[in-house]
């Protein structure tokens, strides 16, 4: 069997991006600070990877103010969820492939 890599998503080759998408797939929405705490990454690293996912239209950003402090929340898009699911299928297929 030829290895099908069409489902594999280059965007998720970056670990932090894959982690962000995992969190947003499991939750309706997540805010910047909670993501930072959970993934244990720096502000800059997280922000640049969120930007990439936003550009790919895998996530959307909602900005608001809570107690006059900026609060940025992120949500997955249907496109992002589909890409994430496909990527997981691709990883599974890779495992199956190596069993043969």
Instruction: Catalog residues that contact other proteins under the rule CB under 8 A.
Output: 18-19, 22-23, 25-27, 30-31, 34, 37-38, 40, 88, 91-92, 94-95, 98-99
Q: Are 59 and 76 in contact (CB under 8 A)?
A: yes
CB-wise, 60 or 90, nearer to other proteins?
Answer: 90
Least Å distance between CB 6 and other proteins?
Answer: 17
Contact 20, 39 (CB under 8 A): yes
CB 96 within 8 A of CB 55: no
Q: Which is nearer to other proteins, 77 or 93 (CB)?
A: 93
């Amino acid at each position: 069997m030829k290895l099908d890599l069409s489902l594999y998503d280059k965007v998720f080759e970056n670990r932090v991006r894959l982690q962000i998408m995992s969190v947003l797939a499991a939750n309706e929405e997540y805010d910047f600070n909670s993501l930072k705490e959970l993934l244990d990454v720096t502000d800059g690293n997280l922000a640049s990877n969120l930007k990439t996912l936003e550009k790919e239209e895998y996530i959307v950003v909602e900005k608001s103010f809570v107690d006059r402090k900026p609060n940025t929340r992120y949500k997955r898009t249907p496109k992002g969820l589909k890409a994430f699911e496909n990527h997981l299928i691709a990883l599974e297929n890779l495992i199956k492939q190596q069993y043969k």
